Chain A
Amino acid sequence: MDNKNLNKKAGITRRQMLRILGAGAASYGLFGASSKAFSKSAAHIVIVGGGIGGAAAAKYLRLLNADVKITIVEPKSQYIFCPGSNEVLPGWVTLEDLMVTYSTLKSRYHINVIHDKAATIDYDKKQLKLEKGDILSYHKLIVSPGPTHNYEAIDGFNDTLAEGDFPSAYTAGRQTMNLHNQLFSMKKGGTVIISSPEDPYRCPPAPYERASYITAMLKENNPTAKVLILDSKNDFIFSNVYPVYWKDRFGYGTDQSMIEWVPRKDGGQVVKLDATNHSVITADGHVHKGDVINIIPPEKAGQFALQNDLSEGDWCPVDFLDFSSFKQDHVYVIGDSVDGDPMPKTGYIASNQARVVAQAINDELHGREVGTPFIINDCVAMAGKDYGMALSETFRYAGKGKKLGEHYHILGPESNKAKQIIRQQVAENWQRTFRKDIFE
């Protein structure tokens, strides 16, 4: 169990251990990062992407199987947890609060983490090539690269502008801080434009949660400011709750409202960014000038999946029995890149897809029939520090080649203040537990 102590007892240092492991270990890419010695014949599961999906797959596979070799390929040595990152915008938490590392996955779960970028897959040789040149042989490959933010889908927009004056801030990071700073330095009475994308995209309620937080912050610091949500959809998740909250707190629906929502049918679809004039143009030709412009672009599967022939169109088709790719053998795709309708793209779902894959791979390694999948998605979103909401979805297997059977239930608005706070407390506490569940 505790290999560190075992090694110590046997008088073997880590360096000696590496030497003993020798060429076998080297061909699997530096297993010395974890202190456990794996058998030469042990299966090697390689995971591309150390986000929620990849990290959960690694940890839960390890909980099922002590003998398998597990390697995560992830360029970043610190991961900023995306759930909760909207709270950085009004300054309720910092990015540092959301940072996690791979140290527990390495030390406690004996998972090898290589900080490099996965480049190409040789499907015949079952090998993954990394950017710096390392080649990893795999028995099974799990691909969990997250989404590609398709900035170019909006005319005049690109990743350079997103990294600069027009942060999308839709994956937690530098853009999140840029947007935070812009919001706090915006002129008195300024307008914040949030463009919400067409489905499907990561975390469906996030644009509305973000709009709520920003409006709450402005109400305190810049009460004559306005938030304008231009939506490429005609409806959104929790549309039975957010407007009720907005009406109560921000005068939504009146001339004095601090927040406005424009659906696609009323001209909400942003098609162009005019960076020079700091404005966006909608499909009906309307020009909206904004002091802070936050375009959340449409998404597609992660670049790695798109470039390695795992996608059909924008997303990756999989068999929902075990999330194995319909395009390539011995490869599984999980998380935001999956063509998973009716599953939404959430971290919660990615983690639970990861648990399904972990079990499926372990079943297969043991020569058993793969168990029936079952997936839950709970979304405990917030509108403010004093108001939470909840939805729950279950996804049942419906047979080969069929979509999963989804049943969902979204609670209506809560008028009791104590219950509003309790819902919010559940949401806030969930984030912390979830981070721990995946990375500790």
Chain B
Amino acid sequence: MSTVSKPLDFLWTAYLDNEVVIEQPEDDHYSKHDESAEWNPSAFRDVLDRTDEGIKVELFVLVGDGTVHTVDLTRGRFTIDGTEIELGDESDRASDRKLIYYRTVEKDWIDGEEQEARIVGYSFGYEYTDNKDRVQKKVITLNG
């Protein structure tokens, strides 16, 4: 059995439009974590629980390795370590932007032996439906 044993390189904070702030704990545990369960949702479920209720994420921040990266879902703008980046969002329906966040993990067999899982990327951004009703995704990936 294996998991990614080293601590997460980047931890997120989500700022919601009801002024609630949700911070990812280092153990990534959901607020309703059940130690006796084989599986638990991660802390990201706390964000999705709110968005399922219609509460919107305004700002999502990834902090790690002495750097700060953000995506502002109200404007469709990213900052990468302080530099603002815009990825061609032409939506006129800004309120439709939905948060995207995931980590990319790889597991190798090398010479027949299982290797420890490793995070190779942290991706964050958003998706929206454009003016032609096409789903567009704007995502930035940081190396893990």
Report if A and B associate in a common complex.
no
Q: Hey, which bits of chain B sit against chain A, CB under 8 A?
A: none
